[in-house]
Amino acid sequence: MHGMSDNAAFRRCLICSAVEQIDGERVWPPGWLCPACGHVFPQADGVPLFAPELADSISGFDPKAFEYLAEHEPGHFWFVARNLLLVGLADKFFPHARRFLEIGCGTGFVLRDFARSRRWERLVGSELHPAGLAHARQRLPSEVEFVQMDARDIPAVGAFDLTGAFDVIEHIADDEAVLRALRSATETGGGTIIAVPQHQWLWSRADEVAHHERRYGRGELEAKLRRNGFDILFSSSFTALLLPLMAASRLVARRRSADEDAYEFGLSSAANRVLLAILRAEVRLTLAGVSWPAGGSRVVVGRAA
């Protein structure tokens, strides 16, 4: 399926697996009818629904958390610095990419910075939970396409030259199914960027409240990407400079409430500024080529082989 036609993009029917070449801007038009089997996929408020049975269920994530995230992401040191790193990696390794899909876009906080980073021909945010998409649609321009889907079964073939999943696949038991689906949706030679939490010894109630299946060991994500059709271009830890602080926070985690564990937002503005300055420096070094061996997260850049 990967090499059906050079630079051709297809949407795929989840019912009969037939493919249809994408001619217009939208990958999945609302109310799309499969020309092979005639199935009409449902939609709600202009958003195609490919996994409506899982919508807003507690499946890997509690959709009630989106409102909290939408309020606290802007300005928070970790989210702001992570965006700088993700957009910077896209600019460094895939400067000519023009068709981007983010899996598990949540409230659209990352997708908004990608939207601002360059002129895109196609920008798509997918999410299992419409509750997250409600926030994302408010944050992003009307030309951005949104879709509700199960990341393990993306109904596209070669439709994107850049894909990403940022702190998403650790919520999914079969994470390799997501990577296979991403490879199918990414054209050969295109790229993917994956970010995950790292180091099982950092496991805490934060991971449990966030419905994580795992934290990744060193080399684990890279091996899974290779097994599923990606070559590794770059890999590094993130929040390496804050790892001692993270480790210390885990030692006192039992004294915290579940919400503080899950999001660790209980910081003064002064502390937030200091931590952001530290991570900005780390991001600059990472984009200059430094690969940090340990840190709270792992970010891997791959190319679709």
pLDDT one-digit tens code per residue, 91-137 = 999 999 999 999 999 999 999 999 999 999 999 999 999 999 999 99
* Tens digit of each residue's pLDDT (9 = 90 or more) over 207-243: 888 899 999 999 999 999 999 999 999 999 999 999 9
Q: Please, which pLDDT band fits residue 188 given cuts at 50, 70 and 90?
A: very high
Residue 183 lies in a domain: yes
Nearest to 282 by CA among 251, 228, 246, 240: 240
pLDDT over 80 (residue 3):
no
Q: Please, which pLDDT band fits residue 253 given cuts at 50, 70 and 90?
A: low
Residue 55 lies in a domain: yes
Is-contact 181 152, C-beta < 8 A? yes
Cα four-point dihedral sign 176, 150, 80, 191: positive
Give me the percent of the chain exceeding a pLDDT of 90: 81
CB 249: neighbour CB atoms within 10 A?
Answer: 17
CATH of the domain at 199: 3.40.50.150
CA distances from 269 to 111, 250, 252, 272, 288 (A): 25, 21, 21, 5, 29
Q: Domain tally for the chain?
A: 1
Nearest to 96 by CA among 125, 119, 124: 119
The token duo for 87 is 């957009």
Residue 134 lies in a domain: yes
Q: Please, which pLDDT band fits residue 5 given cuts at 50, 70 and 90?
A: very low
**Structural domain range at position 133:** 43-304
Residue 18 lies in a domain: no
Residue 251 lies in a domain: yes
The pLDDT assigned to 198 comes to: 97
Q: What SS3 state is found at 250?
A: helix
Q: What SS3 state is found at 52?
A: helix
In DSSP terms, which residues pair with 196 in a beta bridge?
A: 298
The pLDDT assigned to 258 comes to: 46
Residue with tokens 């649609």: 137
Residue with tokens 């689906």: 181
CA distances from 120 to 95, 114, 157, 193 (A): 11, 9, 19, 17
Residue 34 lies in a domain: no
Is-contact 85 238, C-beta < 8 A? yes
The pLDDT assigned to 40 comes to: 96
Distance between CA atoms of residues 282 and 84, nearest Å: 11
For the chain, the average pLDDT equals 92
pLDDT over 50 (residue 56):
yes
| Interhelix angle 130-139/65-72, nearest 10 degrees | 20
CA distances from 62 to 106, 120, 163, 203 (A): 11, 31, 24, 19
Distance between CA atoms of residues 212 and 206, nearest Å: 9
Check residue 44 and report its DSSP letter.
E
Residue 30 lies in a domain: no
Q: Among 208-212, 252-256, 266-270, whose mean pLDDT is lowest?
A: 252-256
Length of the chain: 305
* Tens digit of each residue's pLDDT (9 = 90 or more) over 14-25: 999 999 999 877
Residue 87 lies in a domain: yes
Nearest to 54 by CA among 162, 112, 141, 126: 126
